Amino acid sequence: MKVSVSWLKEFVEITREPRQLASDLTMIGLNVEALVAAGGDWVLDLEVTTNRPDCLNHYGVARELATRERLPLKKVEVSLKESGELAARAVSIEILDSDLCARYCGRVLRNVQVGPSPDWLVKRLEAVGQRSINNVADATNYVLMELGHPLHAFDLARLKQQKIIVRRAKPGEPLRTLDGVTRTLTRENLVIADGAYPVALAGVMGGEESEIAVSTRNVLLESAWFDPVSIRRTSKAQGLHTEASHRFERGADIQMAPLALDRAAALIQKTAGGEVLTGIVDVYPRPWQPRELTLTKLEIARLLGTEIPEPEVERILRGLGFKFVGGTRESWRVSVPSFRLDVSQEVDLVEEVARHVGYDRLPARVRPAPPRVEKDTTREKVITVSSLLASLGFHEMIASSMVDPVEGEEFSNSQPVLLANPLSQDASALRTSAIPGMLRAIRWNLDRGAVDVKLFELGKTYSIVNGAPEEHCVLSLGTTGHRRPASVYDGEAELSFFDLKGDLETVLGTFEAPEWEFEPTAHTYLQPGASGRLRTRGEELVVFGLIQEDLAREYKLRRPVWTAEINFGRLLEFPLRARKFQAISKFPAVERDFSLVVPDNVAYALLAAAIAGAATEELRSFRPVDRFRGGAIPAGHYSLLLRATFQSQAHTLTSEEIASLSQHLLDALEPLGVRLRG
Amino acid sequence: MTIDQKVHTTLAELSIADAAGVEAAFTEVRAAMQAERDALLARGAASEAEREKLCKDLRDRWLARKNGILSALDENWLKAAKKELKPFVGKSFNALRQESATLETLALMMDVPLRALPESPRGIPDAGSPSSVAVQVSRETPSDLTFPGNRRPLGTLHPVTQMQREIEEIFLNLGFHIESGPEIESVYYNFDALNIPESHPSRDDWDTLYIDSKTVLRTHTSPVQIRAMEKYSAPLHIIIPGKCYRHDNPDASHSPMFHQIEGLSIAADVTFADLKGTLDFFAKRLFGEKIRTRFQPSFFPFTEPSGEVSISCIFCGGEGCRVCKESGWIEVMGCGMVHPQVLRNGGIDPKKYSGWAFGLGVDRFAMLKYDINDIQLFFQSDVRFLEQF
């Protein structure tokens, strides 16, 4: 909303510098977005919030300023010369649907000379961003900018039977509006009709048929009040947002209707000549009832944390147009002006007081909330996992939740949640999998010269389950390149399946999760033989592996890419691993290496399970250290170097004991056909 | 004089009268012990019996209570030492005794019966002696110690996550707790319960992405206000971080997906002063003690009175610059006293309780804090961007 400082000065004698004025307005809630000097005048661009239609004009802004600067607000002066004939004889006005139109005022002007507006008027309109049309239309626009009440001018000669009927449109009734669009109306739309057809979309836009033209001699000026909800519905349904609908849908001032009419009529008389017929035709089926509210002194203090001196409260509310109509020692009875439809409760009055006292003058205090005993375990888990991943070299990323619905098909069987009004096809569904976004992120980096990329994302996927949308927490990992880059210290080593598996084991190892088992099969988007899943109690917790070749090509990935999807929502249900001290044996631990010959068909997991199944207390740990084929190793077998650690809590193990423990371990492997290398 | 002779002689007789002398003497003994131990390891044993005997002999020679070298040292060097030398002798003696523990486990290192792969590494008990450290130094290590350290690549947390955590910490310290809610939200929670009826133009302040006529992608974290009121009632002190969505075309300052943090504090005696004080404290904790805050009236359907918080420009200190558009102030968040109707919608009696709330954009805060000029950078996953945080 553009406001001219010189225009404001017609209603309040401001002496403040424009810059100071802008700051003052901002501090009472009329945020000044720009201040521009224009031909000896200053124009303020105000951000008027949707609750304040009364400030969508100069007079309303002047009222706020007058209250703020403690200056008087001048009355709107109208000097109008009426001539003999009664307007009511020249036109008849009828409201059929008074639920949607509470008041309709009309004035008739005769023998006007439609033509260009004088310079001062054109300049003023242009200063506030309005284009000049002709002296009649400009007068209505001028009043709109000045007093905020939307008016409309009809060519009276074009109104059949010199009649105005305010009614709901008939279904399918056509109306060609001023923008040249022929609109098909419904019962939802309120129209202004003449004796036969609609001539305007009430409160939104006039019709082309009755538009003021150079040939127009007689004018009917309309100043009405329409129901905000109805105007909003019509404006939305017709996709037509105008200066008039903008104000009516926010709530116009019903009591302003006659004054605005007079102001416009006087202006037309001045710039286009003609005579103004006597009287206003004022059809007012639902007269305004002033709303009365009680404001208690206690409530001001309860909400603002301080008492405001009574004279200050009264000065502010009076300045803003409220009337004091009664009260007690503890409270005021306040009558709300017709232009403040937003003020409907006591708290709204408190805000008015707070605004004009100035938020910066209100006290401040900081008090902590009562401390809580409960620990935020979810946050603790999230921080643990993400910090761990960062330590493992993964960068956290955030990808868009909105994707192309087809992209998820290769990664998930879930039914995507579709948007009704997406920004684009690329962002018309919520992702069912985080992997496509991960692949795009890796490609983005590979395309920009990166070689080693490790990314993770902690986010959500979305799907329709049993007809209702659901959100799932997922942790996704993506890696490509080397385990470590080449340096003077180490040669470079390509990432392998086991690097990712190891990182996943590290992450899962921070949780008190039940034993998980590995299964070497995974989704089709992963390469068979280089992928798998981790399950716990038969439930899938992780799917990971190498991206399948065709997909890698489709995503234009120049290098092998490994990904993992972790059902994070499920993981969060497990507690973090409890830290419990295990007594450290005072006696030395002994490591023994076993050089084993293992048949190819015996999986390491099987071998490990056999050892674990027969484990003695002294077998503290075991791990594979090396493996190789060929040489003296028979075909269909490989050699595995297994390193076991033995230790007793009770004594130093003797050589005999170690020999016996070693034999026990070998015995457990024998049924699998695993033997010591000869 | 051999070591054996020396340890049976007192320090005085050896003409050792200062700390340096003591140290040199112990160094000699330590070297002898290591040499004997290493010699034994190098030699190896043909059988278990031989190994046991060799190890026992060495152990006895050094550690035996009677006539062991350490016992002799205790008698002749430590106990007989002059008072002023005793602390030095005691210290060196203790170090030597600790080191001698390696003799205890010597047998375990010496013999690996299944030594099929001679080059495989063997368990080395932590001897802590200089010689064993020397063995571990790789041949490939450049002798030029000015080469850079061998760093392992570290990952990073996303700047938005870091900013979110930092904000959370401040409010957690104030006794708030963290709540969350769904991103796919009903029109009721996202709008109606927050006093934003379909029939009012204020609904248009949020460019909404719809799933259907009753379901939206939440346009703000505010719906969780109502959900939390329903769940916990009053008093209530929470912050709500999360993703939000708007029908905004992406550009340098807009993203259809972004992050918000909502704060809500409801209690019997909460006033506008708490709102001002807490948010001022928050801004100072986050951006620095010198930051000033400014509160100006605004409008949100779910708060009354409503406000907008600006902070003094963190780049120019309030003098006026490009970032603050020469105003000296940067608008950072919306706030207000919870509207009585919103309290009622959450099942809380507005006569008994009052509350304040705020909402801020985490992405915008991160942009401010790290001087990032394009919000799109957050969602491109470019490692060159991410690794800076």
CA distance A341 to B200: 12
**Which of A303, A376, A594 has its CB closest to that of B178?**
A376
How far is it, in rounded angstroms, from Cα A474 to Cα B89? 63
Query: In the structure, what pLDDT confidence band is assigned to residue B114 with cuts at 50, 70 and 90?
Result: very low
The alpha carbon of A267 is separated from its chain's Cα centroid by a whole number of angstroms, namely: 45
Beta bridge partners of A207: A177
pTM above 0.80, yes or no: yes
Contacts of B147 in chain A (CB under 8 A): 488
Query: Quick check: A398 and B237 CB within 8 A?
Result: no
Residue B130 pLDDT: 40
A178-216 burial string, b = 16+ CB within 10 Å, else e?
beeeebebbeebbbbbbeebbbbbbbbbbbebbbbeeeb
Q: What are phi and psi of A472, to 5 degrees?
A: -125, 135
Q: What CATH fold (topology level) applies to the domain B159-386?
A: BirA Bifunctional Protein; domain 2 (3.30.930)
The sign of the dihedral angle between the CA atoms of B183, B185, B191, B193 is negative
Give me the mean pLDDT over the A412-430 stretch.
95
Query: Nearest CA to CA, how far is A98 from chain B (Å)?
Result: 19
**A483-527 tens-digit pLDDT:** 888 888 888 889 999 999 999 999 999 999 778 889 888 789 999
Q: Quickly state the pLDDT bin for B202 (edges 50, 70, 90).
A: confident
- Strand partners for A292: A335
Min CA distance, B295 vs chain A (Å)? Answer: 6
Chain A neighbors of B267, CB-CB under 8 A: 369
Nearest to B274 by CA among B339, B351, B358: B358
Whole-complex ipTM:
0.91
Q: Are A81 and A241 in contact (CB under 8 A)?
A: no
From the list B210, B256, B379, which residue is nearest A423 (CB)?
B256
- What stretch of H or E contains B272? helix B272-287
The reported pLDDT for the residue numbered B141 is 52
What is the dotted CATH code of the domain comprising A590-676?
3.30.70.380
- Which residues of chain B have a CB within 8 Å of the CB of A388? none
CB contact under 8 A, B116 and A232: no
Per-domain residue ranges of chain B? 3-112+123-136, 159-386
Nearest one of B350, B314, B351 to B329, comparing CA atoms = B314
Chain A nearest-CA residue for B116 = A595
CA distance A127 to A43: 7
Residues from chain A that touch B386, judged by Cβ atoms under 8 A, are 395-397
B165, A383: Cβ pair inside 8 Å? Answer: yes
Give the one of B247, B265, B271 whose C-beta lies nearest to A369's C-beta: B265
- The dihedral built from the CA positions of residue A422, A426, A427 and A433, taken in this order, carries a sign that is positive
Between chains, do A366 and B280 touch, taking CB under 8 Å as contact? Answer: yes
Rounded-to-integer distance, Cα A128 and Cα A5, Å: 10
User: Taking residues B314-322, what's their average pLDDT?
Assistant: 87
Question: Is the per-residue pLDDT at B124 higher than 60?
Answer: no
Contact yes or no for B150 and A454 at CB 8 A: no
Return the DSSP state at A423.
S
Q: How far is A23 from chain B (nearest CA, A)?
A: 10
- H or E stretch at A460: strand A453-465
Mean pLDDT to the nearest integer, B278-282: 97
Tokens of A417: 């949640």
CA-angle at A47, arms to A41 and A49, nearest 5°: 140
The verdict on a CB contact (< 8 Å) between A593 and B116 is: yes
Share the mean pLDDT of chain A.
94
Burial of B247 (0-12, 13-18, 19+ CB in 10 A): middle
Instruction: Return the CATH fold of A377-571.
Output: BirA Bifunctional Protein; domain 2 (3.30.930)
Identify which of B112, B199, B296 has the shortest CB distance to residue A26. Answer: B296
Is the pLDDT at B123 greater than 90, yes or no? no
Kind and range of the H or E run holding A516:
strand A516-519
How far B70 CA sits from the closest chain A CA (Å)? 22
| Residue A163 CB partners (closer than 8 Å, separation 6+) | A91, A92, A93, A94, A194, A195
Tokens of A376: 């935020």
Q: What does the alpha-carbon distance between residue A246 and residue A250 come to, in Å, rounded to a whole number?
A: 7
Give A401's contacts in chain B (Cβ within 8 Å).
183, 243, 245, 257
Residue among B157, B281, B294 whose CB faces A386 most closely: B157
Cβ-in-10-Å burial (0-12, 13-18, 19+) of A12 comes to buried
pLDDT at residue B112, as a whole number: 42
Q: Do residue B273 and residue A445 have CB atoms under 8 angstroms apart?
A: no
Which of A392, A430, A593 is the closest to B120 by Cβ? A593
CB contact at 8 A, A189 and A90 = no
Q: How far apart are CA A664 and CA A658, in angstroms?
A: 10
Q: How does residue B27 score in pLDDT terms, banded at 50, 70 and 90?
A: confident
Q: Do residue B161 and residue A401 have CB atoms under 8 angstroms apart?
A: no
pLDDT of residue B57: 84
Cα-Cα-Cα-Cα dihedral sign, residues A590, A595, A599, A601:
positive
Q: By mean pLDDT, which of B126-140, B159-173, B289-303 is the weakest?
A: B126-140
A112 is written with which tokens? 């006007």
Fold match between domain A2-69 and domain A292-337+344-361: yes
* Distance to chain A for B163, nearest Cα, Å: 13
B210 contacts on A by Cβ (under 8 Å): 419-421
pLDDT at B122: 42
Residue of A243, A296, A303, A641 to mutate when probing chain B, most B C-beta within 10 A: A303
- CATH number, domain A82-283, options 2.60.40.10, 3.50.40.10, 3.30.470.20, 3.30.420.40: 3.50.40.10
Q: In one letter, which amino acid is B253?
A: S
Question: Given this model, what pLDDT does residue B135 score?
Answer: 43
Q: For chain A, which residues make up each domain, given as ranges?
A: 2-69, 82-283, 292-337+344-361, 377-571, 590-676
pLDDT of the residue at B108: 63
Of the candidates B156, B208, B354, the beta carbon closest to that of A396 is on B156
Tell me: the pLDDT tens digits for A296-342?
A: 999 999 999 999 999 999 999 999 999 999 999 999 999 999 999 99
Do the beta carbons of residue B354 and residue B318 sit within 8 Å?
Answer: no
CB A220 within 8 A of CB A159: yes
Return the residue matching tokens 């009828």: A94
Architecture of domain A292-337+344-361 in CATH?
2-Layer Sandwich (3.30)
Q: Do B382 and A592 touch (CB under 8 A)?
A: no
Tell me the average pLDDT across A41-48: 95
Q: How confident is residue A372, by pLDDT bands cut at 50, 70 and 90?
A: confident
Query: What is the nearest CA distance from B30 to chain A, expressed in angstroms?
Result: 23
- Asked which of A142-146, A280-284, A583-587, B69-73 is least confident by mean pLDDT, the reply is B69-73
CATH number of A2-69: 3.30.56.10
Q: Model confidence at B72, in pLDDT bands (50, 70, 90)?
A: confident
